[in-house]
Structure 1
Amino acid sequence: MTFYPTDRLALFIDGANLYSAAKGLGFDIDYRKLLDEFKKRGVLVRAYYYTALVENEEYSPIRPLVDWLDYNGYRLVTKSAREYVDSQGRKRWRGDMDVEIAVDMMEMAEACDHLVLFSGDGDFRRAVEAVQRKGARVTVVSTVKTQPAMASDELRRQADNFVDLNDLADIIGRPARLPRYIQETRATLPNDEADEAADA
């Protein structure tokens, strides 16, 4: 990654996209390490995290993360997820944050030298092009190491830099949490047998 110590940086994290990319690569993001890493690479002006939340749900698995981020240096941008029924009749939720990310990138391009977009969504190509015309450099962080690749070819070509998330795994990652039954099995079995149980 090409960063200069005097770069004014802003991070734009598409929460759902980054989660899917990291999960596909087999690790979890450590958001404290992520923030610390980019504070070393320049003057961090803002770190945005975007996610849709299911309202009126008794327990949301993302709520503890969102609360932690909100208290630990991230600017949370959320909206209510919309409910829909898929073709199999299952209840699903949709919460696209593309417009919010694009608008914030355009606004922050005035105040920053370098924008870092954590998403591989090709819909951001025009937004990246627009902020580049304002003079900001753009680094895209996503991955092409999953099947299918999470990063669109058009977005990678438009960005000034592309960083594969897999290359950051040792810096900003931690091992993925395994289901409890696998953790318990691994604690009681020799290593080879535990690995076989995890693969089962």
Structure 2
Amino acid sequence: MNKINIYIDGNNLYRSAKELGFEIDYKKFRGWLRQKYNANNVYLFIGLVPERVKFYEYLQSCGYILVFKQTVSVGEKNKGNCDAELVLKTVSDFYTKSFTSCMLITGDGDFGCIVEFLKDNNAITGVIAPDENKCSILIRNKNIEITFLNDLYHKFSNRI
């Protein structure tokens, strides 16, 4: 039996959707992932902002497993880059055999190395890139299946 995990770069997904004029309905998105990929676990990596506790509770009620990174203030913005956490969790799950295959949701080239590692170990089904125009060549050149969300946002998002 296939056990599929999905690892989501939350910041990349959120920003890409917003730049394309969409606000993700996370409940619908989780349903779409369930229906399309039958994932066992869906991990969402996001920066921890204490004022957003209710939103985090909502995400958990939708079926996401949240992995947080403490945010730091940089000027007027909060930054919570979760790249290392996503890579570490994915590799840890690979070695503990928590999945037979996985997918990453990101277009960030910083994840090219983990995509290559997973491909070399026959452990990745593909990548879901939030924006075709901003998907890094460091992911595109891995010769794996990439699904672009540009034409799919209408299934699980609202226009803003």
Q: TM-score, normalised by structure 2?
A: 0.85
Mapped to 2, the partners of 1:14 and 1:63 lie a distance apart of 19
C-alpha deviation, 1:159, in angstroms: 5.6
Mapped to 1, the partners of 2:143 and 2:86 lie a distance apart of 16
Of structures 1 and 2, the one scoring higher in RCO (CA 8 A, sep 6+) is: 2
Which letter does structure 2 place at the counterpart of 1:98? Answer: D
Unaligned runs of 5+ in 1: 1-5, 86-90, 177-200
Partner of residue 198, structure 1: none
Can you list the C-alpha shifts for 1:119-161, whole angstroms capped at 9, x where unaligned? Answer: 11101000111122222124222212xxxx3311111222621
Question: Residue 70 of structure 1: which of 47, 52, 60 is its match?
Answer: 60
Native 8 Å contact 1:138 1:159 kept in 2: no
1:46 paired with 2:33, answer: no
Q: For 2:5, what is the secondary structure of its paired residue? A: strand
Residue-pair matches, total:
157
Instruction: Tell me the percent identity.
Output: 27
Partner of residue 12, structure 2: 17
Can you list the C-alpha shifts for 1:48-83, whole angstroms capped at 9, x where unaligned? Answer: 11111234xxxx3x4433220122211111121012
1:123 paired with 2:110, answer: yes
Partner of residue 33, structure 1: 28
Which letter does structure 1 place at the counterpart of 2:60? Answer: D
Q: For 1:41, what is the secondary structure of its paired residue? A: helix
Mapped to 1, the partners of 2:118 and 2:21 lie a distance apart of 32
Q: TM-score, normalised by structure 1?
A: 0.70
1:100 paired with 2:85, answer: yes
- Work out which of the two has the higher radius of gyration on C-alpha atoms and give 1 or 2: 1
Give 4+ residue runs of structure 1 displaced > 4 Å after superposition.
Answer: none
Matches within 5 A, 1:1-200: 7-55=2-50, 60=51, 62-85=52-75, 91-109=76-94, 110-142=97-129, 143-144=131-132, 149-158=133-142, 160-176=144-160
C-alpha deviation, 1:112, in angstroms: 2.4
Can you list the C-alpha shifts for 1:168-196, whole angstroms capped at 9, x where unaligned? Answer: 112222222xxxxxxxxxxxxxxxxxxxx
Native 8 Å contact 1:138 1:161 kept in 2: yes
Mapped to 1, the partners of 2:89 and 2:80 lie a distance apart of 17
